[in-house]
């Protein structure tokens, strides 16, 4: 054990006695809540498998899985591998299997959150309340029943935080392996969590626990090498050091330019011959053929994952060579426009920060009053309306409210999301105060690392990393990306509520002044 940390790290005897009982209570809450949601009509949504840009053709995943993954360029292979294995070995029952796996992830996340909050010396009642609310919230249920990588990333990041704490406390190899395995899975299914992200965390842990460097190197070695192999393959085959750089990154760049530039300004540039007409077309468009006059279809490579313009169900194949050429055309013209339009990206960044604080259901496919809205979101719209009101301060869910957003791109009353604007920074500030206080204490008192503060620092790092990636590089959906670190926010919220509770108890314990 690290010198001077026993009093801070190990939970008290009552917590140890109550923990199994509390976990049983959480499991019961989880099961009962899922039964209630099922009764309300919530069902697994597997439509992304056939529609979403991030996935290869389901037919290829089922019948040519390994070849298709080898030529997958725009996404890390993890989630498409998961989908392919479901289709290949489970077939029509893939919906039941995916929701069952997501339920197990959700339950594991709930147990991890609760246990970690107890280990961080958060009061038992607060830890139980925060975890229970997180598990039963309609947002969690929406994402849990959605065949997309958002919920697995949320669960894996939450579980990894607990695994990190356990390793720093007990220095067991098993916990280090669990920690780095979770990080590997996150990076293997979500392209924004780059190899550099994985290496930064590994190096940080080596510094924090350098006396156990051999365990860290061994635990991080296999997942680190596998992740490196994925990026080496991407560079050797496609010249990309960032997976998704050919289409997703360039289309996001173009869409950010389009969102901030007056269409008349673009039309004038087209008339002058400064840019091509491609920026007059929406970057995220369901038809690839409209680009053919500007970007002719390239020669076939002989590999369906790269050659298909459309997937079997009709959705555009964003992994195709044709889409890469289209993305390059969008990107070149967008760069020209940006050079002529000062302050463009600053305005977009301000807008992206606003998006970050929107409720997590204010995104596709959960938007109210939109064609193709999620059936689960429709069935839960009453609950979502009240939940959003209690967690953000906004109740206005009228059709006009959403029409204004769809026509202007922002909510006219976005400043009214006052609870989110207050609570999220307060959570971050609580974590920062903990870490800064620890750094000062360690610098002048005890240089030994402390599992509590390192785990909090891990949560802050990932929240900051996710926020920077989505605010700087994405045209929208910052609130959905924020939900990927919602479990880490829940940990910080527990710390915030616990600090407030302790302050209240201290104020009550002060003796009354004598007269």
Measured between alpha carbons, how far is 58 from 83 in angstroms, rounded to an integer? 8
Using CA atoms in the order 232, 461, 491, 120, what is the torsion angle rounded to 10 degrees?
Answer: 100
- Cβ–Cβ contacts within 10 Å for residue 30, how many? 20
Buried-state track 1-14, b at ≥16 Cβ within 10 A, e below 16: ebeebeebbebeee
List pLDDT tens digits, range 331-347: 999 999 999 988 899 99
310: three-class secondary structure by DSSP: strand
**pLDDT at position 476:** 87
pLDDT, tens digit only, all 515 positions of the chain: 333 333 333 444 444 557 889 999 999 999 999 999 999 999 999 999 998 999 999 999 999 999 999 999 999 999 999 999 999 998 778 888 999 999 999 999 999 999 999 999 999 999 999 999 999 999 999 999 999 999 999 999 999 999 999 999 999 999 999 999 999 999 999 999 999 999 999 999 999 898 899 999 999 999 999 999 999 999 999 999 999 888 999 999 999 999 899 899 999 999 999 999 999 998 886 678 888 889 999 999 999 999 999 999 889 999 999 999 999 999 999 999 999 988 899 999 999 998 999 999 988 888 876 777 899 999 998 899 899 989 988 776 555 566 666 655 555 555 568 889 999 999 999 999 999 888 877 654 554 458 999 999 999 999 999 999 999 999 989 999 999 999 999 999 999 999 999 999 888 776 655 54
Measured between alpha carbons, how far is 267 from 321 in angstroms, rounded to an integer? 28
Place of tokens 């330019």: 257
Asked if residue 116 lies in contact with residue 161, where contact means CB atoms within 8 angstroms, the answer is: yes
Measured between alpha carbons, how far is 240 from 166 in angstroms, rounded to an integer? 36
- Exposed/middle/buried for residue 131 (C-beta within 10 Å: 0-12, 13-18, 19+): buried
| Residue 206: both structure tokens together | 């080596």
Beta bridge partners of 146: 45
Measured between alpha carbons, how far is 87 from 280 in angstroms, rounded to an integer? 39
The model's pTM: 0.91
**pLDDT at position 14:** 47
146: three-class secondary structure by DSSP: strand
Q: How many helices (H) and strands (E) does the chain have?
A: 25, 0
Asked if residue 388 lies in contact with residue 394, where contact means CB atoms within 8 angstroms, the answer is: yes
**pLDDT at position 1:** 36
List pLDDT tens digits, range 425-434: 999 999 999 9
| Residue 269: both structure tokens together | 């540039």
Place of tokens 């004598």: 514
**pLDDT at position 7:** 36
Asked if residue 448 lies in contact with residue 5, where contact means CB atoms within 8 angstroms, the answer is: yes
DSSP conformation class of 71: T
């Amino acid at each position: 054990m690290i010198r001077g940390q026993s009093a801070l790290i190990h939970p008290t005897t009552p917590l140890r006695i109550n923990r199994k009982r509390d976990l049983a209570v959480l499991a019961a809450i989880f099961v009962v809540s899922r039964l209630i949601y099922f009764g309300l009509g919530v069902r697994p949504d597997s439509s992304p498998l056939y529609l979403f840009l991030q996935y290869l053709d389901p037919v290829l995943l089922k019948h040519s899985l390994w070849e298709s993954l080898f030529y997958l360029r725009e996404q890390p292979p993890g989630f498409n591998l998961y989908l392919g294995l479901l289709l290949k070995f489970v077939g029509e029952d893939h919906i039941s299997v995916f929701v069952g796996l997501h339920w197990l992830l959700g339950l594991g996340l709930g147990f991890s959150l609760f246990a970690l909050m107890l280990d961080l010396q958060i009061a038992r009642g607060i830890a139980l309340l925060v975890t229970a609310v997180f598990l039963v919230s309609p947002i969690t249920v929406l994402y849990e029943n959605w065949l997309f990588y958002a919920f697995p990333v949320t669960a894996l990041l939450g579980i990894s935080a607990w695994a990190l704490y356990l390793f720093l406390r007990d220095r067991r190899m098993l916990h280090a392996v669990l920690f780095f395995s979770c990080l590997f899975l996150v990076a293997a299914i979500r392209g924004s969590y780059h190899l550099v992200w994985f290496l930064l965390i590994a190096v940080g842990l080596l510094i924090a626990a350098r006396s156990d460097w051999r365990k860290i190197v061994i635990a991080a070695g296999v997942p680190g090498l596998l992740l490196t192999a994925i990026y080496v393959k991407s560079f050797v085959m496609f010249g990309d050091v960032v997976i998704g750089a050919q289409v997703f990154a360039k289309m996001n760049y173009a869409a950010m330019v389009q969102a901030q530039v007056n269409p008349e300004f673009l039309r004038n540039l087209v008339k002058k011959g400064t840019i091509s007409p491609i920026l007059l077309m929406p970057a995220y468009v369901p038809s690839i053929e409209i680009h053919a006059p500007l970007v002719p279809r390239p020669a076939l490579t002989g590999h369906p994952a790269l050659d298909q313009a459309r997937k079997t169900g009709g959705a555009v194949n964003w992994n195709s060579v044709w889409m890469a050429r289209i993305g390059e055309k969008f990107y070149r013209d967008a760069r020209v426009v940006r050079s002529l339009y000062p302050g463009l990206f600053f305005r977009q960044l301000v807008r992206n920060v606003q998006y970050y604080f929107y409720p997590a259901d204010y995104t596709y496919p959960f938007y109210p009053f939109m064609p193709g809205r999620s059936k689960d979101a429709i069935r839960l719209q009453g609950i979502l309306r009240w939940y959003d009101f209690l967690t953000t301060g906004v109740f206005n869910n009228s059709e006009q409210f959403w029409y204004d957003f769809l026509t202007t791109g922002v909510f006219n009353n976005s400043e009214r999301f006052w609870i989110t604007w207050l609570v999220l920074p307060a959570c971050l500030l609580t974590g920062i105060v903990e870490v800064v206080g620890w750094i000062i204490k360690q610098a002048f008192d005890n240089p030994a690392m402390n599992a509590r503060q390192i785990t909090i620092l891990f949560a802050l790092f990932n929240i900051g990393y996710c926020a920077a990636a989505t605010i700087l590089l994405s045209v929208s959906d910052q609130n959905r990306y924020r939900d990927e670190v919602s479990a880490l926010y829940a940990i910080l919220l527990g710390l915030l509520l616990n600090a407030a509770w302790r302050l209240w108890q201290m104020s009550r314990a002060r003796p009354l002044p004598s007269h």
